[in-house]
Amino acid sequence: MSLPTPPDGPSSTGSGIEPAGPADVPAGAATGPVPASESVGAVGSPVLPGTESASATGSAAPVGVPVPAAEPQDGGLPETGAAPMAAARPRRTTVILGAALALTVIAAGLAAFWLSAQLSDSRDRITEQEQQIQDQQREIEEQREMIEQKQQFGAAMADLYATVDPLVGLPYATVVPWTQIEAFADRAWGHRRNPAALERDTGDVEAFTAGLADRVAVARTQAASNASGSPWEAALDDLGRGWVTTTFDETNRPCNMDVMACVSGAAPFIVHVSADTRDDPQLTDWIRTGVAYHEYAHVLQFTNPEPTASAVTAFGGDVETMADCYALTVLDGWSLEHEVPIDEYSYWEVSVGYGYTCNDEQKQVIRDWVDGLGVQLRPVGA
């Protein structure tokens, strides 16, 4: 049902707020045309014109309550619906704006959370990368130190070999203790990832090389001298290549034994000679020389334990008959039995050694033994 259109012009407000006619005119009665400006001026309190249709509702529309807009019959704007329509729009907008604002806040929150998570993740990655870089730098530093230590150890071993090299062929194998040198190499291999231990190994090798070099220097000095001028020393200097020292025992009991001379395993390069052998009339220089050969055999036995252990079996394990056989084999014309003239009519029968003259087979054992003696170059770490 559409509301009736007022007969002409804008309807009166009839609200009593703005009297449009005489005071005695009843409210709602048409009092003539009212300026349009006055009609629309009653914003917020639209009052329907006093028509039948309006009366049919029982009362006029309450002030401020929006009334559905009337369809203007002439296509014009509704006269009283404008205000209520204008009041409804802000509410929808508010809801939309509120929702948009809420979504914006949520989106901003989510963005902030995402950004925070990203930043945290980035910080973690940076920390991890920094740690990796530090680890790599430490590794490089350790490797550099390792390389330096390995080079130093290699240089120390090269020095050791340079000191050993001129000794190769020297008939005293124990002068160069390969077991110890191999232990240096084995230990260094075990310490290949331990720079501090490797540094100590290098120091050990250097100390060993220095000790060996000292012994070589002392031997060379001794080789150039024959302090006593005795046939003992002459023979031992010749045989020993300067490594064997001759010392006279004034108690006439060298090594606490009743013998002309002896060698102790504790000091294998020293031949102890009874002092009374220097002027004993029963001895000749030839006998002294032969006995020096016998003693030198002991030097060889002590300084070449491995080949000696094998060779001595040909002598029933007796190192003395083996030493006698060495002199008999190496010193041409040597014999264990001698006749020492006293005068032109008499002589002493002098027997030296241990009473057994070795056979040709045993002499060959001696030759083979001698050929296998001495310092030999060994590869270490192979």
Which of 219/260 has CB closer to Zn ion?
A: 260
Closest Cα to residue 271, out of 302, 295, 240, 235? 295
CB of 186 to Zn ion, least distance (A): 37
Which of 199/320 has CB closer to Zn ion?
A: 320
CB of 363 to Zn ion, least distance (A): 18
Cα angle at 322 between 320 and 324, to 5 degrees?
Answer: 70
297 C-beta neighbours (distance < 10 Å), count = 26
CB of 237 to Zn ion, least distance (A): 19
CB of 232 to Zn ion, least distance (A): 14
Which of 25/319 has CB closer to Zn ion?
A: 319
Which of 225/351 has CB closer to Zn ion?
A: 351
CB of 352 to Zn ion, least distance (A): 10
Closest Cα to residue 223, out of 210, 236, 232, 214? 236
Which of 145/318 has CB closer to Zn ion?
A: 318
CB of 228 closer than 8 Å to CB of 246:
yes
Which of 184/302 has CB closer to Zn ion?
A: 302
CB of 142 to Zn ion, least distance (A): 58
Residues that bind Zn ion (CB under 5 A): 320, 323
CB of 340 to Zn ion, least distance (A): 20
Which of 325/373 has CB closer to Zn ion?
A: 325
Which of 276/320 has CB closer to Zn ion?
A: 320
- Which tokens hold the place of 92? 């929808």
Rounded to whole angstroms, the Cα distance separating 360 from 147 reads 58
Which of 227/267 has CB closer to Zn ion?
A: 267
CB of 294 to Zn ion, least distance (A): 5
CB of 188 to Zn ion, least distance (A): 41
* 245-249/267-274 β-pairing: parallel
